[in-house]
Structure 1
Amino acid sequence: MERLTAFVHGYVQGVGFRWWTRSRALELGLTGYAKNQPDGRVLVVAEGPRPALESLLAALRSGQTPGRVDLVVESFGPARGGENGFTER
């Protein structure tokens, strides 16, 4: 189990991006959250198996998201636990 932390840059607030991310994460069996940031980015934190995290990351970069993604800056680390389901914050 690992943890993906991704900051998504672009036009990603107010367009259903967090809901879309939540749907993809739940389809992949991931836990975590998507949260708007004051500077216009969305923070995505997801935990689960590395292949599922890589699939979510690919989806974030796919060009099929609501709004417009210009850049995704990600990091991986050990899972911390504590999340139930995947939420929008």
Structure 2
Amino acid sequence: MARRIRIAGQVQGVGYRDWLVGVARAHGLAGWVRNRRDGTVEALLAGDTPGIQAVLLACRRGPPLARVESIEETLAEDPAEPGFARLPTL
């Protein structure tokens, strides 16, 4: 199971990507996270349903300095690489 999400709000410059790497790894997920030039954060989350649901719930709150306004979620293909990584800005 994999989901691609796009998080909007005050999510850049607040440690969101590093925070999400830690949360995703703690739940055993594979995938990646990156900033987008439009000010959103995009991530690919792959793993078991309970792990993805837990991370999605955490993403709605984000790290302490973040202010999440919305999350768009779509089905996705599993990542080609194992583990969870922080990618460069797209």
TM-score, structure 1 as length reference: 0.88
User: What's the CA shift for 1:64?
Assistant: 4.6
Say whether the 8 Å CA contact 2:2–2:47 is kept in structure 1.
yes
Matched AA of 1:85: G
Q: Which residue of 2 aligns with 1:52?
A: 51
User: What's the CA shift for 1:68?
Assistant: 1.1
> What is the root-mean-square deviation in Å for CA atoms of aligned residues?
1.3
Identity of aligned residues (%): 31
User: What's the CA shift for 1:14?
Assistant: 1.3
Q: Which residue of 2 aligns with 1:32?
A: 31
Which stretches of structure 1, 4 residues or more, deviate above 6 A after TM superposition? none
Q: Distance in 2 between matches of 1:80 and 1:26?
A: 15
The structure with the greater share of residues assigned to strand is 1
Q: How many pairs does the alignment contain? A: 86
TM-score, structure 2 as length reference: 0.87
Q: Which residue of 2 aligns with 1:11?
A: 10
Q: Residue deviations 1:34-74, cap 9 Å, x none? A: 1100100000101101111111100001x252411110111
Q: Which runs of 5+ in 1 are unaligned?
A: none
Q: Which runs of 5+ in 2 are unaligned?
A: none
Q: Distance in 1 between matches of 2:81 and 2:53?
A: 19
